[in-house]
């Protein structure tokens, strides 16, 4: 008879934090799941719910002070908790391997890529040095890294984020493990790189027949990859189901709340259903009674929810939920209903809104960094980080600047804030040109424009409490006339962003990620800006915390009329928040226009590729896969910068850079051929535009080509 036992089975796993004179604090409680060979089990939930600790417990790599109290873990029939450490070292990297969340901190910065891959090969496969090198080259090629022989001699800092993640996958797959644990493998990656990562994992899973434990908070990734889904909250598995059943009708109130917090086009302008409060601290779980989700659950009742802990019960065939009210959570809207609906306020057929007086206009912005070499550090070229960008911001509107990492999005924001110098370009504030050399004008512009950085923990001074952080900007830019006024405004600001006045005495490390982002927003608001530049403010946040931040930004925009430049690669947020979109590639804008129109019918092939790569919960669809990496801005290709990766490039694309041309409905695009050329003869003489593009576009494009 064939072996029907699962590849890995976890039964009654309990993990606790040791205390000197008290019982251990439970961080993982009564965990049960199994994964078959070739199957993907997705573990989802908010940060701090115990997902990563579960992975570390399976690998027996728990940090000091945290230990496994009870339970069983079987891998191919072997009980892992009974094995000595020497046997576990042979299993790690051999039968089971793990891709950690942050490759930059997981790779050794002082060892070459060859040394780090070779270590796993020598340890588990007993290969010699020459064999290790050849096998390492094969692994790098297998994970999609070009020129593997050259990359083997490089160090992690010489690789992009996506390439570092691929190296981590190569190390994990070196010994062809039966179980692969991937902890947030695509967090903070661009959608195109994320699509490549997921394709690679699926391909290798099919090839090796390995089981995959996927830890993520991105429900779009879960919809694409998972066979089974487990939802975790406060250290417990609160729901477990097949993927199709889970996305059709989630059973636990927490699962339903995660779907309700997702930003989407149909909810544009509406408030998201953010979960109130926060998940309970682990220190509070030791004396907790009843359901751990009761304090945040809209369906909770005093009895039995707050007095009796629910057990994980089978509610339907293959559907398990930890809730007293069977099926109560699926009475609302089914997740995904109307998810692709067109915005009511910005219908594609609606006339364009009347123009609003602009706040900020940028023309021809360029930021070039010199490349210096030799003993005398002479300039041998320039990195064209931003190479001619035009933008406009109007009151009460949001312009989303999107594109892959390295395209220049953050550099645009930093140049506008004068954090880095502009090489060329003009900035107009309320129609008046700003003199970049006038320090008084620069000071007034800095007060009118504030920036919210991507990582609030890195941008907040750890030696200053929240009140000092907020008052610093007020006093430096004279937004408050006295310390007393600054303290009064500080309390009002904290209240405005949903925090309490007593939080002013706390330091950044005492706040959660979402609360730190609120403090960063309050700091930007402290000087009453008209424009806020938001650099990935929701990246790597859970959907529940993300919903709170997006609601806050919507409220502030409605109340204060603030204009946002929203720098992001999260298209779900763009669909929900943005009024206009500008798509950036290799330092230039390649498409811009009203958000509804661009998202519904992208004109540029790069925009189409980006949107096709976004994982969605509605189901699979064709992905336009871009080959290779973006070109270096220090050595851009001739002609169109996107030409080397474009699936429909023509001869003219390699010779002349396309200009930004109006294509109707307030939209512009920089492409010689905005639809796959299906004509005969020389494409240069007969470019095929989209049907909606006016005939003069063709004439203008050919004229522009002849002048370059």
pLDDT digits (tens, 9 = 90+) for 454-502: 778 788 999 999 999 999 988 888 888 888 899 999 998 998 888 888 8
The pLDDT tens digits of the residues spanning 583-632 come to 999 999 999 999 999 999 999 999 999 998 888 887 666 788 887 778 88
Task: Domain of residue 430: give its range.
Answer: 360-585
pLDDT for residue 547: 87
340 lies in a domain? no
Our count of domains for the chain comes to 2
| Range 671-681 average pLDDT | 50
Which residues have CB under 8 Å from 323's CB, separation 6+? 238, 251, 252, 253, 291, 310, 329
551 with 635, same domain: the answer is: no
How would residue 706 be classed by pLDDT, with cut points 50, 70 and 90? very low
148 lies in a domain? no
Provide the mean pLDDT of the chain.
83
The pLDDT tens digits of the residues spanning 188-201 come to 677 887 888 788 88
Q: In whole angstroms, how far apart are CA 111 and each of 98, 105, 107, 138?
A: 20, 13, 8, 19
pLDDT for residue 267: 66
* Widest CA span in the chain: 84
| Range 280-305 average pLDDT | 83
Which has the minimum average pLDDT: 73-77, 282-286, 342-346? 342-346
pLDDT for residue 101: 78
Q: In whole angstroms, how far apart are CA 162 and each of 196, 352, 635?
A: 9, 39, 20
477 with 380, same domain: the answer is: yes
435 with 522, same domain: the answer is: yes
523 with 650, same domain: the answer is: no
Please check the confidence at residue 252 and state whether its pLDDT lies above 50. Answer: yes
The pLDDT tens digits of the residues spanning 414-427 come to 999 888 999 999 99
Integer Cα distance of 311 and 240 in angstroms: 13
426 with 568, same domain: the answer is: yes
299 lies in a domain? no
Q: In whole angstroms, how far apart are CA 500 and each of 134, 219, 505?
A: 59, 32, 10
Selected residue with higher pLDDT from 210 and 341: 210
Report the alpha-carbon angle 40-333-243, nearest 5.
10
Helix axes 466-476, 483-496, angle to 10 degrees: 120
571 with 643, same domain: the answer is: no
What are the strands, taking DSSP E only, across 374-448? 378-393, 398-402, 424-429, 432-433
246 lies in a domain? no
3-state SS, residue 78:
strand
402 lies in a domain? yes
pLDDT for residue 327: 60
pLDDT for residue 516: 87
Please check the confidence at residue 688 and state whether its pLDDT lies above 50. Answer: no
User: Starting at the edge strand that comes first in sequence, how are the strands of the sheet with 667-669 ordered?
Assistant: 449-452, 531-535, 563-568, 398-402, 580-585, 588-594, 667-669, 661-664
pLDDT for residue 701: 35
541 with 646, same domain: the answer is: no
332 lies in a domain? no
Q: Look at strands 360-373 and 378-393 and give their pairing.
A: antiparallel
Q: What is the pTM of this model?
A: 0.81
pLDDT for residue 265: 60
578 lies in a domain? yes
Which residues have CB under 8 Å from 689's CB, separation 6+? 663, 673, 674, 675, 697, 698
pLDDT for residue 269: 67
The pLDDT tens digits of the residues spanning 365-395 come to 999 999 888 888 888 888 899 999 999 999 9
396 with 510, same domain: the answer is: yes
């Amino acid at each position: 008879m064939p072996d029907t036992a699962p590849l890995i089975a976890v039964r009654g796993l309990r993990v606790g934090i040791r205390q000197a004179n008290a019982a251990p604090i439970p961080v993982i409680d009564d965990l049960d799941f199994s994964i078959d060979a070739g199957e993907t089990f997705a573990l989802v939930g908010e940060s701090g719910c115990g997902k990563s600790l579960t992975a570390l417990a399976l690998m027996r790599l728990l940090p000091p002070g945290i230990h496994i109290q009870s339970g069983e873990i079987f891998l191919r029939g072997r009980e892992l908790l009974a094995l000595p450490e020497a046997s576990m070292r042979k299993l790690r990297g051999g039968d089971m391997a793990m891709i950690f969340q942050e490759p930059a901190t997981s790779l050794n910065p002082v060892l070459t890529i060859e040394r780090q891959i070779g270590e796993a090969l020598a340890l588990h496969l007993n290969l010699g040095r020459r064999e290790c090198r050849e096998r390492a080259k094969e692994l790098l090629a297998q994970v999609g890294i070009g020129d593997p022989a050259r990359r083997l001699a490089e160090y992690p800092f010489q690789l992009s984020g996506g390439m570092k993640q691929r190296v981590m996958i190569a190390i994990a797959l070196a010994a062809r493990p039966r179980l692969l644990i991937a902890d947030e493998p695509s967090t903070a990656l661009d959608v195109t790189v994320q699509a490549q990562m997921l394709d690679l994992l699926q391909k290798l899973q099919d090839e090796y027949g390995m089981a995959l434990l996927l830890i993520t908070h991105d429900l779009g990734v879960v919809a694409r990859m998972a066979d089974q889904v487990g939802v975790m909250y406060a250290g417990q598995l609160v729901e477990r189901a097949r993927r199709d059943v889970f996305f059709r009708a989630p059973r636990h109130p927490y699962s339903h709340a995660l779907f309700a917090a997702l930003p989407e086009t149909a909810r544009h302008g509406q408030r998201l259903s953010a979960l109130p409060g926060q998940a309970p601290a682990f220190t509070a779980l030791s004396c907790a009674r009843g359901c751990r989700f009761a304090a945040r659950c809209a369906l909770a009742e005093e009895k039995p929810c707050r007095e009796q802990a629910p057990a994980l019960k089978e509610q339907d065939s293959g559907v398990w939920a930890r809730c007293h009210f069977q099926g109560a959570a699926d009475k609302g809207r089914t997740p995904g209903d109307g998810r692709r609906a067109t915005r009511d306020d910005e219908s594609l057929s609606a006339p364009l809104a009347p123009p609003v007086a602009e706040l900020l206009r940028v023309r021809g912005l360029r930021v070039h960094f010199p490349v210096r070499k030799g003993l005398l550090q002479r300039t041998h070229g320039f990195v064209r980080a931003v190479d001619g960008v035009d933008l406009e911001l109007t009151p009460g509107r949001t312009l989303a600047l999107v594109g892959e990492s390295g395209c220049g999005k953050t550099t645009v924001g930093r140049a506008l804030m004068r954090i880095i110098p502009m090489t060329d370009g003009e900035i107009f504030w309320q129609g008046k040109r700003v003199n970049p050399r006038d320090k008084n004008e620069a000071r007034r512009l800095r007060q009118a424009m504030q920036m919210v950085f991507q990582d609030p923990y890195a941008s907040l001074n750890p030696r200053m409490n929240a009140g000092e952080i907020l008052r610093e900007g007020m006093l430096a830019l004279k937004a408050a006339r006295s310390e007393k006024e600054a303290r009064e405004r500080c309390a009002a600001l904290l209240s405005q962003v949903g925090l309490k006045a007593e939080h002013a005495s706390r330091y950044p490390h005492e706040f959660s990620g979402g609360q730190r982002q609120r403090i960063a927003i309050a700091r930007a608001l402290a000087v009453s800006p008209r424009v806020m530049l938001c650099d990935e403010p929701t990246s790597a946040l859970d959907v529940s915390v993300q919903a709170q931040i997006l609601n806050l930004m919507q409220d502030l925009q409605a109340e204060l009329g603030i204009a946002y430049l929203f720098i992001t690669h999260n298209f779900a947020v763009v669909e929900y928040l943005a009024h206009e979109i500008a798509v950036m590639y290799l330092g230039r804008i390649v498409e811009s226009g009203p958000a509804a129109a661009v998202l519904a019918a992208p004109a540029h092939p790069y925009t189409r590729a980006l949107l096709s790569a976004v994982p969605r919960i509605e189901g699979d669809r064709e992905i336009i896969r871009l080959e290779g990496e973006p070109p270096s801005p220090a050595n851009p290709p001739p002609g169109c910068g996107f030409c080397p990766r474009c699936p429909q490039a023509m001869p003219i694309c390699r010779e002349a850079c396309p200009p930004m041309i109006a294509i109707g409905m307030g939209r512009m695009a920089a492409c010689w051929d905005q639809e796959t050329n299906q004509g005969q003869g020389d494409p240069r003489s007969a470019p095929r535009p989209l049907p909606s593009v006016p005939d003069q576009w063709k004439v203008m494009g050919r004229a522009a080509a002849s002048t370059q």
